[in-house]
Structure 1
Amino acid sequence: MQQEEVIVKAINIISESMRESMRRYKEDTPDSKELFNLSITQLHYLHVISERANVTITELAELFGVQKSTVTVTVNKLLQCGYIEKVISKDDLRVVYVSLTEKGKAVIELEDKGYRQFAASILAMLDEREQSTFTFLLNKVINQMTRG
């Protein structure tokens, strides 16, 4: 098998394993219903909002490479569900930021726990040396992908 084929197969298997792990996590975690009622797009928005202080709809549109109207639809749904709130800038009343509510923070935390559980299951398959090598290689790939 060519190296590229092995990588594609691994990505598919890991993705499917992660979906299955998150499904089991949902079943085992009583408070996880909120997390699994969100679309992937909505989760992406919540992650970006959680990682950036004072993000605007315009900035979200630029980050996701979509129209402001597209962002507005998702933001309004997240507002309606109570995951985010709008905050008017103290410096410029024309500027409106979006930020996570406590409910939004709880959903991100819940998802993070599911990811950590999945990561632990991967690490459990490897000995210490393999874990170090695997982590090193993942960091190398991540650093290359996030450059520039």
Structure 2
Amino acid sequence: MRTYEDITPLMKSLGHALYKYTVIDRKDFDFGVGVNLFPAEIHMLEAINCRNGVGVTELAEEFGVTKGAISQLINKLVKKELVVKEPASDHKSRVVIRTTPKGKTACQNHREFHREHNKLFTQYLEQLDDKSFNTVVELTNQLNLWMDNYLK
């Protein structure tokens, strides 16, 4: 059985990786369309791009935030000419958000960005045998539970 002292170096290493993630999560990137986007913006853009029009309520439910927070983010994307807001054809008081051609290009470049930057880690995961891969899956689940405990 491992002791707390045995596990502490691993916890510190995980902490360093999580810290690096938070640094990256606050950094903006240009995905080839002439405007910088923060991770929250490009991920929202991706969520919109995956649909042929989506409403604020659906996005708020998906992201687990308020409709007001979604509206603020959408307005930033509108100003950057990455999305447009249109009245819904079936319900005039409802607004539908769609990506523009510039937004579609940003999404495509974002996926390429991740394909390239994730290549080594993806290759590592691909070569794992089933037992090792399942261990990583379980570790990921446990990491999420660990972080959920801090959000309570």
**TM-score, normalized by the shorter chain, greater than 0.5:** yes
Q: Which of residues 3, 9, 13 in structure 2 aligns to 1:9?
A: 13
Q: How far, CA to CA, are the matches of 1:38 and 1:122 in structure 2?
A: 24
Q: How far, CA to CA, are the matches of 1:138 and 1:32 in structure 2?
A: 36
Q: How far, CA to CA, are the matches of 1:53 and 1:127 in structure 2?
A: 33
- Equivalent positions of 1:1-148 (< 5 A) are 1-2=6-7, 6=10, 9-10=13-14, 12-13=16-17, 16=20, 19=24, 31=32, 33-34=34-35, 37-123=36-122, 126=124, 129-130=127-128
Which structure is larger by alpha-carbon Rg, 1 or 2?
2
Q: What is the Cα deviation at residue 79 of structure 1?
A: 0.5
Q: What is the Cα deviation at residue 16 of structure 1?
A: 3.7
SS at match of 1:130: coil
Structure 1 pair 140–16 and aligned structure 2 pair: CA distance change class (3 A)? same
SS at match of 2:128: helix
Q: How far, CA to CA, are the matches of 2:138 and 2:51 in structure 1?
A: 24
Q: What is the Cα deviation at residue 65 of structure 1?
A: 2.9
Structure 1 pair 5–108 and aligned structure 2 pair: CA distance change class (3 A)? farther
Q: How far, CA to CA, are the matches of 1:8 and 1:110 in structure 2?
A: 34
Compare 49-58 and 78-87 and name the one that shifted more: 49-58
Structure 1 pair 139–128 and aligned structure 2 pair: CA distance change class (3 A)? closer
1:80-138 superposed Cα distances (whole Å, 9 cap, x missing partner): 111101122222222211011111111111111111112222345x4974377666555
Residues paired across the two proteins, number: 135
Q: How far, CA to CA, are the matches of 2:134 and 2:60 in structure 1?
A: 33
Paired residue type of 1:6: L
Q: Which has the higher contact order (CA 8 A, sep 6+)?
A: 1
TM-score, structure 1 normalization: 0.65
Q: How far, CA to CA, are the matches of 2:43 and 2:10 in structure 1?
A: 28
What's the RMSD between the two structures over aligned residues? Answer: 3.8
SS at match of 1:78: helix
State, as a whole percentage, how many aligned pairs show the same letter.
22
- Show structure 2 runs of 5+ residues with no match: 1-5, 145-152
- Show structure 1 runs of 5+ residues with no match: none
Q: How far, CA to CA, are the matches of 1:133 and 1:7 in structure 2?
A: 23
Give the helix-richer structure, 1 or 2.
1
Q: What is the Cα deviation at residue 8 of structure 1?
A: 6.6
TM-score, structure 2 normalization: 0.63
Q: How far, CA to CA, are the matches of 2:33 and 2:48 in structure 1?
A: 20
